[in-house]
Amino acid sequence: MEYRTLGRTDLKVSAICLGTMTWGEQNSLDDAIEQMDFALAAGVNFFDTAEMYPVPPRPETQGRTEEYVGEWFARRGKRQDVVLATKVSGRSEATGDWKHLRGGPRLNRQHIHQAVRDSLKRLQTDYIDLYQVHWPERTTNFFGQLGYRHKEQHDLASIEETLGALSELVKEGLVRHIGLSNETPWGVMEYLRHAREDDLERIVSIQNPYNLLNRSFEVGLAEMAIREDVGLLAYSPLAMAMLSGKYMHGQKPAGARLTLFDRFQRYSSPQAVDASEAYVLLAKEHGLDPATMALAYINSREFVTSNIIGATNLEQLQSNIASIDCELSAEVEQGIEALHQRYSNPAP
């Protein structure tokens, strides 16, 4: 396993991060424990979860994923071996009111302090290594939106208030470091500006989508990630498994996420399907497993700190972790770039 420094901290995290969002919906507690055991044994020391998991989000299951992680810590006593990341939810037009989360989640001081304490209880730990803002409270282009359309909003929790509350958690010792998710270049720079000007905690990472169907991170955020040491934690690296080839030619495997849940259409447009099949064919032409090729490409980008993989069974997990040992040839990379020119970000 390869290890990389998380921002400007002294933490070394595995270049492969174990994602957890299916645990409690598609995966049982026993499945989750089996995956955590396997991942840690394979050198993965970085686990990522969120207070809203599992997905699809439902009041009946909210928080169950964190509970599974907490149960593993209680059974195995391995808390010190893991860099643990979780996230706080805020208000969003994209997600709805979510009254089951604190009556409707916000990113103000009161909600953030309550959220972290609730997460700590479910996780059965007294600290979180990386606490992330799951998405901006303001309306902006995330969750599949490339274009920005401005909307005046006067009742938002400000970035200054959010960052101030997160900084208080660090001072209390409940959180070691803080990060962002689904954020834009403007948002990143605002968090950095307030950290600098107001002597608040500095963000160390950004968790955004990044895969062969969506390389929009490269446009404005990759330079920031490198120059400001705010590395990418890449989520959805297989574009919800579209890049694995399992959905080729309209297949709908039993138990697969896109088979079970209609809400996951982000990577299923006609353009995305065409692009996915082209990348799968490219991998096969070079004798590569399509998922391995797609993950290896993410692993090799200099602005990526860690690649967040998710699996519903051990076979997938083993294959995904093994991608760290795959080095793509110049010919394969040229093929990927040629396809990127033909299918430029078909699934934002």
Q: Which residues are catalytic?
A: 53
Interstrand relation of 12-14 and 16-19 (parallel, antiparallel or unpaired): unpaired
What is the bridge-based pairing of β-strands 83-88 and 46-48? Answer: parallel
DSSP 280: H
Q: Which two tokens stand for residue 184?
A: 């834009």
Q: Name residue 35's amino acid.
A: Q
Q: Which secondary structure element, helix H or strand E, spans residue 47, and what is its range?
A: strand 46-48
Query: Is the Cβ–Cβ distance between 275 and 269 less than 8 Å?
Result: no
Please give the full DSSP string across 158-227, using - where no structure is assigned: PHHHHHHHHHHHHHHTSEEEEEEES--HHHHHHHHHHHHHHT-PPEEEEE-B-BTTB-THHHHTHHHHHH
CA 164/CA 146 separation, integer angstroms: 29
What distance separates the 2 farthest-apart alpha carbons in the chain? 55
Distance of CA 345 to the CA centre of its chain: 18
Angle between helical axes of 314-322 and 290-299 (0-180°, round to 10): 50
DSSP 325: G
CA atoms within 13 A on the CB side of 73: 22
Q: Which residues contact 281 (CB under 8 A, 6 or more apart)?
A: none
Q: Which helix (H) or strand (E) holds 285?
A: helix 270-285
Q: What are 315's two structure tokens?
A: 């076979």
The span from the CA of 68 to the CA of 250, in Å, is 34
Question: 């590395």: which residue's tokens?
Answer: 231
